[in-house]
Chains A and B, each alone.
With several copies, the nearest count.
Chain A
């Protein structure tokens, strides 16, 4: 794709022949595509080599895109590509709201992954703070953790393990593929910079009195 001769830079006008109209069209196409804002004809003329016929090239480009999935539209004095109006419905499904998992949730998840099967009390011991019910619920709902067997200790507390969906999401074959502490250190992850907002995160914890209360998945 590199075999096309490089046209002259715009900075040296007049020294080179004017590019053919089809080439001017390509140039405008690339500029409009890559620009974050609509681009005015004047700006296009400035960026193209001297002697280009921006209006003519734009007209060609516009008709080339007529009826396509994207169309060339005029926005005031400027030009931009937009999704064809009849395909607007295609864009709708796109919007899944990306949320970052809370620090409490990601830490709880990490503990389950590294220590499974693990009880809630054990999670709290490792984190050094209570684990809110919402955190566990969220991870259950995401289908990243599930209830494992009950621990055969007094109170028979439930344990948590990670799910297939978890392994799938994080691209792991098995939970044993998680890097160990030594590797984390070698990869420079142990001296991680404090995350933004890390300090406030503790505040979200609430207490939890429902340890081992769910008989749901008892086997």
Chain B
């Protein structure tokens, strides 16, 4: 996919092989990018043109292709990469279509220029950072007095505290307030003991296969948390009873409803019950 780029007319004269290698390196490194702007900047640098004259349309296309390629590899992308992709797709369509006079707001050219500015500014900050770190640095290239003379005579005590100390102290106090022992909010929880009891009672009056949902207590059958909790505990209870040999479980296929019936005392060994039970587990 990246190799095709190189063959597109007008798209730089870089050798296809090198381009492909670079493309693959990028894909492998997707985690190494510091956000969509960083990715865009890397793509822009590969065009080897002055950032101020960057063809934004072409860059947008490259970015979108890159995102597609990454998604084809099923690499999870952080949301902001996708937000940028959506924005670039929008920008691309605006750049390609004739301007709509009815539309107000910034023109596509303004938006493109702003993107170019952002890239140039990020690049400039990168270079500035590199120059900064390359300076003669204290403790590496230049040195302070190794044996400072501190003469202890005057007795004045000076209490020191920094703003950071102050803020940390306050933060500590406030987080202490927020802290409370973890307590489960029980109003929406149907405990397993209750489910077990209910199931045992009901099974006495039940003869044939019935869906698990049928055993949910009234008031817990709607949707949402209460139903999920009741379903979970009833299912767990049914497994417990199956283990005790008191019910049989079956499920036609994955995600199909689970059904159960009481096991007859001294009951028949019924092979497909076991097999279906495996499906449910």
**Contacts A88-B151, A178-B132 known; A110 to B138 CB distance under 8 Å?**
no
Tell me whether A101 is interfacial, beta carbon within 8 Å.
Answer: yes
Nearest chain A CB to B263's CB is how many angstroms away?
A: 54
Give the interface SS of chain A, mostly helix, strand, loop or mixed.
Answer: mixed
| 86-102 of chain A: CB within 8 A of chain B | 88, 91-101
Nearest chain A CB to B234's CB is how many angstroms away?
A: 40
Binary interface profile of B, 168-191, with partner A (CB < 8 Å = 1, else 0)?
Answer: 111111111100000000000000
| 187-215 of chain A: CB within 8 A of chain B | 187, 189-190, 192-193, 195-197
- Is B170 a contact of A111 with CB atoms below 8 Å? yes
Tell me whether A113 is interfacial, beta carbon within 8 Å.
Answer: yes
Cβ-closest chain A residue relative to B105: A197
Tell me whether A66 is interfacial, beta carbon within 8 Å.
Answer: no
B135, B140, B171: the one contacting A184 at CB < 8 Å is B171
Cβ-closest chain A residue relative to B175: A190
- Is A95 a contact of B148 with CB atoms below 8 Å? no
Chain B residues in 8 Å Cβ range of A168:
138
* Binding-face segment, B31-39, B247-255, B272-280: B31-39
Nearest chain A CB to B10's CB is how many angstroms away?
A: 28
B111, B146, B177: the one contacting A34 at CB < 8 Å is B146
B140, B148, B155: the one contacting A36 at CB < 8 Å is B148
Nearest chain A CB to B82's CB is how many angstroms away?
A: 14
Max count, chain B CB within 10 A of own CB: residue among A95, A142, A181: A95
Q: How many residues of B contact A (CB 8 A)?
A: 70
B105, B142, B153, B173: the one contacting A171 at CB < 8 Å is B142
Chain B residues in 8 Å Cβ range of A181:
171, 174
Tell me whether B106 is interfacial, beta carbon within 8 Å.
Answer: yes
Tell me whether A161 is interfacial, beta carbon within 8 Å.
Answer: no
Chain B residues in 8 Å Cβ range of A169:
137-139, 161
Tell me whether B96 is interfacial, beta carbon within 8 Å.
Answer: no
Chain A residues in 8 Å Cβ range of B150:
34, 91, 94-95
- Is A126 a contact of B161 with CB atoms below 8 Å? no
* Binding-face segment, A12-20, A55-63, A77-85: A77-85
Cβ-closest chain A residue relative to B155: A97
Nearest chain A CB to B180's CB is how many angstroms away?
A: 13
- Is A171 a contact of B135 with CB atoms below 8 Å? yes
- Is B167 a contact of A178 with CB atoms below 8 Å? yes
- Is B166 a contact of A80 with CB atoms below 8 Å? no
Chain A residues in 8 Å Cβ range of B117:
193
**Contacts A170-B135, A170-B166, A171-B138 known; A129 to B173 CB distance under 8 Å?**
no
Max count, chain B CB within 10 A of own CB: residue among A2, A81, A104: A81
* Binding-face segment, B21-29, B123-131, B220-228, B235-243: B123-131
A30, A37, A95, A110: the one contacting B173 at CB < 8 Å is A110
- Is B136 a contact of A107 with CB atoms below 8 Å? no
Q: 3 tightest A-B contacts by CB? A: A128-B37, A129-B35, A196-B106
Instruction: Give B residues with C-beta under 8 Å from A.
Output: 34-38, 80, 105-107, 110-111, 113-114, 117-118, 120-122, 124-129, 131-133, 135-177
| A-B contact sample (6 more), CB < 8 A, given A127-B35, A127-B122 | A33-B149, A35-B145, A96-B157, A107-B129, A128-B176, A180-B128
22 A-B pairs with C-beta separation under 8 A: A33-B146, A37-B144, A92-B151, A95-B151, A97-B158, A98-B137, A98-B160, A101-B165, A106-B133, A107-B129, A109-B161, A111-B170, A111-B173, A126-B122, A126-B125, A126-B177, A128-B80, A140-B164, A146-B163, A171-B135, A178-B167, A189-B171
